[in-house]
Amino acid sequence: MYPFIKTRSWYRLSPHARQGMMDEHIAASAPFKGVHLNTSYSYGIDDQDFVVAFDSDYPQEFVDLVGRLRYTEASLYMQRDTPMFACAKAPIDAILAQLANTE
């Protein structure tokens, strides 16, 4: 999970140009079937444009995906994609039980 900020020049591109770059970005992601993307748009609400969260049982596949995406044209318009947070998914009962057992 991480915040994502595009450069101002990204927003000066035509919608058609941006869509073409995003189509390339999506195509580059296609081989990574075990990684699912959840995007929350926050442009104008907070400092970042988006918050992206990737869900996968395969951390190495996520690392490989991010490496592949760094070579797409759209990545040239990335201003910031940090800090990055790694999270573990668990049922809420298990999380609460674990928190209750910590000192």
- pLDDT per residue as tens digits for the range 5-44: 899 999 999 999 999 999 999 999 999 999 998 888 887 7
Asked if CATH classification 3.30.70.1030 holds for the domain at 2-100, the reply, yes or no, is: yes
Amino acid (1-letter code) at residue 50: F
Helix or strand holding residue 19 (H, E): helix 15-29
pTM of the model: 0.76
d(CA 73, CA 52): 18
Each domain of the chain, given as residue ranges in start order, spans: 2-100
Q: With contact defined as beta carbons under 8 Å apart, do 25 and 4 qualify?
A: no
